[in-house]
A and B are shown apart, each in its own frame.
Chain A
Amino acid sequence: MNGQEGRLSAVPVTDGPDDGPAIETTALTKRYRRAAALSDCSVTVPQGRISALVGPNGAGKSTLLRLLTGLARPSGGSALVLGAAPRQDPAFLADIGYLAQDVPLYGRLSAADHIRACAALNKRWDAASARTRLRELGVPLDRAVGTLSGGQRAQVGLSLALAKQPRLLLLDEPVAALDPLARRHFLSTITTAMAEAEGQLTVVLSSHLIGDLERICDHLILLAESRVQLCGDIEDLLAEHTVLVGPRKDTAAIEQAHTVVHATQTPRQSTLVVKRGGPVIDPAYQAEDISLEELVLAYMGAAAPAAYAHLTAVGEDQ
């Protein structure tokens, strides 16, 4: 086993197409028999980022991740992952670390069994780091994975994905079932791995917990209704958007200058989330910085007005 571990560090980091984005999709579409799971999805994730993949259930997050791994094949459009189309090729698969939803592992096999099996399945395989990480977290290596807690299983899955030393790590709602402490451990494992990879690792993490994402992510992909609503650098996105709070009145003037993403009306006041087209000059409105959560909710609301209509009732003083 030591021989295998020794070989890993010798894998050269190639240049050339690697300088491009880690992920670039163009009009990527996946249709199932009844409906489209992902429509016309064009996103770009630069290398070395942690991208938050958010959206309501059924928005196409898992589909997008599965298309990026090559587990699913697109019905239309194309994806470039690390400069190449996802495909059945050991070299491509070696660069991808994927943790599917609900962490599917072989329940009767132990973490040590998984580590050993993966050593045979991967030329580049850092078994020692996986073992060390799991020991540090107190995850028993010799117990059947099926008997571990959700948090421990997620850590096993993540450690296995990281031990591949991937260049792209795709995590599908890995923290959904974890308690806050396990979540904290999980996320810190990711950030530590990011730091160790020195810009050679890109992560896409899907989750509903925007607070968590806000702490560790610097890039956002927002899907709703199987379409991309928003994609870009979180800092830029937050800087471009503003919350305007003002009296309830005709918003036509605002709409001319800015793009109103979403408006919430109460009898007395309007709260508008706008993508600014310039400085806000209307003195009747008070401009506030937007939080990631407000931004995400505004775009989700814009994509599916009916589903979010009831949110306007929150805090209403009727």
Chain B
Amino acid sequence: MTWLTWRQYRMATVISAALFAAFAALVVFTGLHMAAQFHDAFGSCIAANTCRFPVDDVSLGSGPLGFIIEFTLAVPAVLGMFIGAPLVAREIETGTGQFSWTQAVTRRRWLAVKAGWLLLAALAWGGAVGALVTWWSGPKNAAYLNAFNPGTFDVQGIMPAVYSLFAMALGIAAGTVIRRVLPALGVTLFGYFGIRLMIMGWIRQHYMTPVTTKFSVAQGAPFIPKGAAWQLAQGFLGPNGPLAPPSGNSGAIVGNGFPLSDVPAACRVHLASQPARVLSCLDKHGYAQYVTYQPATRYWPFQFIEAGIFIALTAALVALAFAIINRRDA
């Protein structure tokens, strides 16, 4: 079984190994260059402990390669579509299932061995890509403190390995249920990006209750959470909760941004004469600025929580494939 799996996928292995090698060469080459750039720009301030991150006046890892790095988010989808989806679907389409599934091995055992190896391969491939991207992103993470942000969070740490597992399982399950390669491929593509987008956009921020920090309306420089925190929202709070942002600059207090329409009557009297007193008046009346965020220390807990979710989804999809492969005619 294992030999057959290897025999059938050795070409795919060679091709993907070659692609990976090319990618690795590119990443290592530019990664070293970027590390040197980082050292030139911040070496002295780090030594003197005077750096103020995040910075926005240094450009690190931008250009086509930065785009390729973001695009590694598609690696799991490619694995799921071109390796996972055809696993069962192609056997049925070409009829070879009639050959393999009448040997003295049950369909479930056949699936267990094949899916087992493919999931392992997905884990290895996704893990390797993820490790490279994480290493490459080191200087960027340090300079921009954005490792926790959607988009970067998803291509670093353990996420690529876990997403690869999930996409592979999704492909295998889709192929088993749909039994045709092309539709299964499409379902894998849309399923992977759809589910991931949903979790990234709406669900991830709720893994733990976010922290909200309030500070004076008068404070000029906004509060910045420590380290690579994930900032979810910021603005002004009134006695009844967050205020809607002002419509354009004309609707806001100059230099501050507080929405004019929300200034209570008690403070409104100062508007024309002494703008500074308006702000302290707002503080007195229970108004404040706020920042809601997930602290940087939650980066790894979030990686593990999300990994748990996708591993559970993987398990469910594999279980579905196992249930279906015996129940349907082959």
Check B102 for interface membership: any CB of A closer than 8 A.
yes
Assess whether B7 is interfacial by the CB under 8 Å rule. Answer: yes
How far apart are the CA atoms of A122 and B102 in the complex, in Å? 10
Q: In the complex where A113-B7, A117-B3, A120-B4 touch, is A71 in contact with B98 (Cβ < 8 A)?
A: yes
Q: Assess whether A122 is in contact with B330, with CB atoms less than 8 Å apart.
A: no
Interface size on A, residues (CB 8 A): 35
Q: In the complex, are the beta carbons of B106 and A90 less than 8 A apart?
A: yes
Name, among A70, A73, A88, A122, the residue most crowded by chain B CB atoms within 10 Å (CB to CB).
A88
A248 interfacial contact with B, CB 8 Å = no
Is there contact, CB below 8 Å, between A73 and B329?
yes
How many residue pairs at the A-B interface have CB separations less than 8 Å? 79
Using known A-B contacts A73-B329, A121-B4, determine if residue A104 contacts B106 with beta carbons closer than 8 Å: no
Would you give the shortest CB distance from A99 to chain B, in whole angstroms? 9
Q: Which residue of A lies closest to B113 (CB)?
A: A120
Contact: A120 with B1, CB < 8 Å? yes
Q: Mark B92-113, 1 if CB is under 8 A from A, else 0.
A: 0011111111111111110000
Contacts of B4 in A (CB 8 A): 117, 120-121
A109 x B7 contact (CB < 8 A): yes
B291-330 interface (Cβ within 8 A of A): 326, 329-330
B1-42: which have CB < 8 Å to A? 1-4, 7-8
- The answer to whether the Cβ of A118 comes within 8 Å of any Cβ in the partner chain is yes
Find out whether the CB atom of B104 lies under 8 angstroms from the CB atom of A98.
Answer: no
> How far is it, in angstroms, between the C-alpha of A69 and the C-alpha of B101 when the chains are bound?
9
Interfacial chain A residues near B326, Cβ < 8 Å:
88
A58-92 CB mask vs B (1 if < 8 Å, else 0) is 00000000100111110000000000000011110
Name the contact of B104 in the complex, choosing from A70, A105, A124 (C-beta under 8 A). A124
In the complex, A67→B99 CA distance in Å? 15
Chain A residues positioned under 8 Å from B3 (CB to CB): 116-117, 120
Other-chain residue from B95, B104, B329 in contact with A100 (beta carbon distance below 8 A) = B95
List 5 A–B pairs whose Cβ atoms lie within 8 Å, in order of A's numbering: A69-B98, A98-B98, A105-B96, A121-B4, A164-B104
Q: How distant is the Cα of A71 from the Cα of B100 in the complex, in angstroms?
A: 11
Does A104 lie within 8 Å of B99, measured CB to CB? yes
Q: How far is the CA of A211 from the CA of B275 in the complex (A)?
A: 107
Hey, which chain B residues are within 8 Å of A70, CB to CB? 102
Min Cβ gap A154→B in Å is 13
Residues of A within 8 A of B97 (CB): 71, 104
Closest to A119 in B: B3
Cα distance, A223 to B47, chains bound together (Å) = 89
Chain A residues within an 8 Å CB radius of B8: 106, 109
B99–chain A nearest beta-carbon distance, Å:
5
Residues of chain A with a CB closer than 8 A to B107's CB: 88
| Closest residue on chain A to residue B327 by CB atoms | A73
Nearest A residue to B325 by beta-carbon distance?
Answer: A88
Say whether A93 faces chain B, with CB atoms less than 8 Å apart: yes
Report if A102-B95 is in contact (Cβ < 8 Å); known contacts: A109-B7, A120-B4, A121-B1: yes
Interface string of A272-306 (1 = CB under 8 A from B): 00000000000000000000000000000000000
Nearest CB in chain A: distance from B109 CB, A? 8
Say yes or no: A104 contacts B94, CB within 8 Å: yes
Chain B CB count within 10 A is highest, among A96, A97, A102, A117, for A117
Query: A217 to B64, alpha carbons, bound, how many Å?
Result: 70
Judging by beta carbons under 8 Å apart, are A93 and B95 in contact? no
Q: Give Cα A297 to B3, complex, Å.
A: 49
Judged by a CB distance under 8 angstroms, whether A123 is at the interface is yes
* Contact status A93-B105, CB under 8 Å: yes
How far apart sit A100 and B102, CA to CA, in the bound complex (Å)? 10
Nearest Cβ distance between residue A144 and chain B, in whole angstroms? 12
A118 to B95, CA, bound (A): 17
A94 contacts B by Cβ under 8 Å: yes
Chain A residue with the shortest CB-CB distance to B108: A88
Pair A122/B95 contact, Cβ less than 8 Å: no
Residues of A contacting B100 with CB < 8 Å? 121
Q: How far is the CA of A123 from the CA of B96 in the complex (A)?
A: 20
Inter-chain contacts of A121 with B (CB < 8 A): 1, 4, 100, 103-105
- Report chain A residues within 8 Å CB of B98: 66, 69, 71, 98, 100, 104
Q: Which residues of chain B are near A157, meaning CB under 8 Å?
A: 99
When distances are taken between beta carbons in the complex, the residues of chain A under 8 Å from B96 are 104-106
Among B4, B95, B109, the one with the most A-chain Cβ atoms within 10 Å of its Cβ is: B4
Which B21-73 residues have C-beta < 8 A from chain A?
Answer: none
Most buried by B among A70, A96, A122, A164: A70
Please measure, in the bound complex, the distance between the C-alpha atom of A72 and the C-alpha atom of B326, giving whole angstroms: 10
Per-residue 0/1 for A100-142: is the Cβ within 8 Å of any B Cβ (1 yes, 0 no)?
A: 1110111101000100111011111000000000000000000
CB-nearest residue of chain A to B110: A121
- Residue of A whose beta carbon sits closest to that of B100: A121
Q: Write out the residue numbers on chain B whose beta carbons fall within 8 Å of the beta carbon of A98.
A: 98, 102
Return the contact of A71 from the options B7, B94, B104, B329 (Cβ within 8 A). B329
> What 7 pairs between A and B have smallest CB-CB spacing?
A104-B95, A121-B103, A94-B104, A100-B98, A117-B4, A72-B329, A98-B102
